[in-house]
C-alpha cells in the first residue's frame, strides 16, 4: 500500500494539476501522506510546500540567469527533502528544466532505485530538443501524456508512457447553469446584459505581467473609443496581485479584479470575449466557449534563440492540434496595443468568425479528451497505483 508521495509542481498551472491529482489519490487512499513543492491549490489537500512555488516561476534562457543560485539551492533542498521523507512515489509535474535536474541529482543517491518516479505532462520533444526523450527515459518509471501522439516518442526508449487526456477537461462547464450564473455575476458587479465583458489574463509571473499587461491595457483603452460599453474582468493570483492592481489603475473603463476561485469560474461563465496571455489559460477559456485572442512576448534574445530551436508554427496547443491558427496569436512584435485592439475588435464585430473559432477549438479539445475521457486524473491515479 502506497503511504508516502512526494510531489513537485513548478508553477501555477502545475499547482492546479497537483491539486487535482492529490485529490484523486486521497480518494484511493485517505491515509496517503504528501510532501513536496506546490502552491495555494495543493494546500487544500493537507499539504505544506517546503518553499514557495513562486521561487520556481522563472521562464526563458536569459531570464533565468539571475535566478540560477536560488534555483540550484532549491534543487538541492528538494533532493535532501526527498531523501529525508523517503517516499514510495515521486511525482513531478511539468516544469521540465527544474524537475529533470532534481531527478538527475537524485539519481546519484542511494534512494533513487527505491522510489517509483512519475512525470505528468510530457516535454514537447516533438517541438524541439527531441533528444530529451532518451534522457528522461533513464530517470522515470512512468510518463503521463496529454496528447495522444506523444507516447511513441518515449516508448521507443522503454519508458512506459500513457495518454490520459488533458487534466483541464475535467473542468468543462455545465452550460445548463450558464444563464443563472451569468445573471448572478453581472447583478453582483452591476454589469448590464448589453455590456461587452472582456476577460483579461495578465499572467502569473511578474516578468510577463510587466511585458504584456501594459499592452493589454492600452489595447482596451483604444477599443473603448469604438465600443464604449465594454467592461473588464481580471482574474489575479497572489504572486502578481500587487503589480496587476497598480497597472490596472490605467484602464480607462470599469474593471473588476477577481481573486476568489469561485468567482473566477463565474467570470468565465459570464465573459463574452477574452484577451489572454499564451499558456494553459487559453484551454480553460476555450472550454467555456469564449472567443479569444492570445498575445505574448519574451525577451528579444530568448526569442532569437528559441526561434532557431523550435520546429512548430504555433504557440497555442489548440492551434497546434488543429494545424492552423484557429485562435489568433499575436506574438513578439505583434504583441502591441494597436494590433491587439484591431484583432479583438474583428472577433467582437464578426459573429461568424467568433462562432467558427468556438467550433474549431472544441474539435481540438475533443482530441485532448473532451467528451471522450471522463476524468484524466482518475486514469492517472490508476496508472500510478499499478507501479
User: Could you tell me the three cell numbers for 113?
Assistant: 532505485
pLDDT for residue 2: 74
For 97, residues 6+ apart whose C-beta sits below 8 A from its C-beta are 64
Q: Is the pLDDT of residue 375 over 50?
A: yes
Q: Three cell numbers at 155?
A: 516508448
Q: Which pLDDT tens digit goes with each residue over 326-369?
A: 999 999 889 999 999 999 999 999 999 999 999 999 999 999 99
CA-wise closest residue to 254 among 186, 332, 183, 307: 186
pLDDT digits (tens, 9 = 90+) for 123-141: 888 766 788 899 999 999 9
Please, are residues 144 and 166 in contact by the beta-carbon 8 Å criterion?
A: no
The pLDDT of residue 3 is 87
In this model, does residue 101 exceed pLDDT 50? yes
Stretch (H or E) spanning 143: strand 142-145
Average pLDDT value for the chain:
90
Return the percentage of the chain with pLDDT > 70, whole number.
Answer: 93
Segment 138-148 shows an average pLDDT of: 95
CB 332 within 8 A of CB 297: yes
> For residues 17 and 94, is the Cβ–Cβ distance under 8 A?
yes
Ranges in the chain annotated CATH 3.40.50.2000: 4-170+373-385, 173-367
More confident residue, 321 or 300: 321
Question: Is the per-residue pLDDT at 57 higher than 90?
Answer: no
Task: State the Cα–Cα distance between residues 271 and 186, nearest whole angstrom.
Answer: 10
Show Cβ contacts of residue 96 under 8 Å, excluding neighbours closer than 6 positions: 119, 123, 132, 136
Q: What is the structure's pLDDT at 302?
A: 56
pTM over 0.85: no
Give the residue-averaged pLDDT of 366-373.
90
pLDDT bin (cut points 50, 70, 90) of residue 9 is: very high
Domain with residues 4-170+373-385, CATH architecture: 3-Layer(aba) Sandwich (3.40)
Chain segment 265-317, per-residue pLDDT in tens: 999 999 999 999 888 888 999 999 999 999 988 655 554 455 555 566 777 88
Average pLDDT over residues 89-118: 93
Q: Please answer whether residues 99 and 107 qualify as being in contact, where contact means their C-beta atoms are separated by less than 8 angstroms.
A: no
Helix, strand, coil share (%) of the chain residues, nearest 5: 50, 15, 35
Say if residue 212's pLDDT is above 90: yes
pLDDT digit string, tens, across residues 214-267: 999 999 999 999 998 999 999 998 889 999 999 999 999 999 999 988 999 999
Taking 90 as the threshold, does the pLDDT of residue 373 lie above it?
no
CATH number of 173-367: 3.40.50.2000
Residue 255's pLDDT is: 97
Looking at residue 303, what is its pLDDT? 47
Q: Are residues 37 and 53 in contact, defined by beta-carbon separation less than 8 angstroms?
A: yes
- Residue 231 host element (H or E): strand 230-235
Amino acid at each position: 500500500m502506497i503511504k508516502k508521495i512526494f510531489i513537485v509542481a513548478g508553477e501555477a498551472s502545475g499547482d492546479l494539476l497537483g491539486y487535482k491529482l492529490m485529490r484523486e489519490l486521497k480518494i484511493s487512499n485517505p491515509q496517503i501522506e504528501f510532501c513536496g513543492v506546490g502552491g495555494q491549490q495543493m494546500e487544500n489537500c493537507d499539504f505544506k510546500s517546503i518553499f514557495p512555488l513562486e521561487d520556481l516561476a522563472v521562464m526563458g534562457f536569459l531570464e533565468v540567469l539571475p535566478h540560477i543560485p536560488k534555483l540550484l539551492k532549491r534543487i538541492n533542498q528538494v533532493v535532501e527533502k526527498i531523501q529525508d521523507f523517503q517516499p514510495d512515489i515521486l511525482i513531478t509535474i511539468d516544469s521540465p528544466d527544474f524537475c529533470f535536474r532534481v531527478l538527475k541529482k537524485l539519481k546519484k543517491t542511494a534512494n533513487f532505485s527505491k522510489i517509483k518516479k512519475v512525470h505528468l505532462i510530457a516535454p514537447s520533444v516533438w517541438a524541439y530538443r527531441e533528444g530529451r526523450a532518451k534522457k528522461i527515459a533513464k530517470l522515470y518509471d512512468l510518463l503521463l501524456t496529454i496528447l495522444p501522439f506523444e507516447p511513441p516518442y518515449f516508448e521507443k526508449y522503454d519508458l512506459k508512457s500513457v495518454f490520459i487526456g488533458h487534466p483541464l477537461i475535467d473542468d468543462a462547464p455545465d452550460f445548463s447553469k450558464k444563464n443563472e450564473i451569468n445573471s448572478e455575476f453581472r447583478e453582483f458587479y452591476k454589469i448590464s446584459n448589453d455590456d461587452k465583458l472582456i476577460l483579461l489574463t495578465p499572467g502569473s509571473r511578474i516578468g510577463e505581467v510587466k511585458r504584456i499587461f501594459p499592452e493589454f491595457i492600452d489595447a482596451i483603452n483604444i477599443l473603448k473609443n469604438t465600443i464604449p460599453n465594454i467592461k473588464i474582468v481580471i482574474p489575479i493570483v497572489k504572486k502578481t496581485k500587487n503589480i496587476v492592481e497598480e497597472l490596472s489603475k490605467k484602464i480607462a473603463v470599469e474593471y473588476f479584479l477577481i481573486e476568489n476561485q469561485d468567482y473566477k469560474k463565474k467570470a468565465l461563465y459570464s465573459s463574452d470575449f477574452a484577451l489572454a496571455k499564451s499558456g494553459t489559460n487559453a484551454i480553460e477559456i476555450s472550454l467555456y466557449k469564449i472567443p479569444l485572442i492570445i498575445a505574448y512576448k519574451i525577451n528579444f534574445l530568448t526569442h532569437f534563440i528559441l526561434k532557431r530551436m523550435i520546429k512548430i508554427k504555433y504557440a497555442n496547443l489548440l492551434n497546434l492540434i488543429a494545424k492552423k491558427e484557429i485562435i489568433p496569436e499575436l506574438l513578439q512584435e505583434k504583441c502591441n496595443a494597436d494590433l491587439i485592439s484591431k484583432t479583438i475588435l474583428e472577433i467582437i464585430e464578426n459573429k461568424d468568425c467568433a462562432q467558427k473559432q468556438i467550433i474549431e477549438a472544441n474539435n481540438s479539445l475533443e482530441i485532448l479528451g473532451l467528451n471522450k475521457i471522463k476524468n484524466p486524473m482518475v486514469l492517472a491515479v490508476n496508472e500510478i497505483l499499478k507501479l
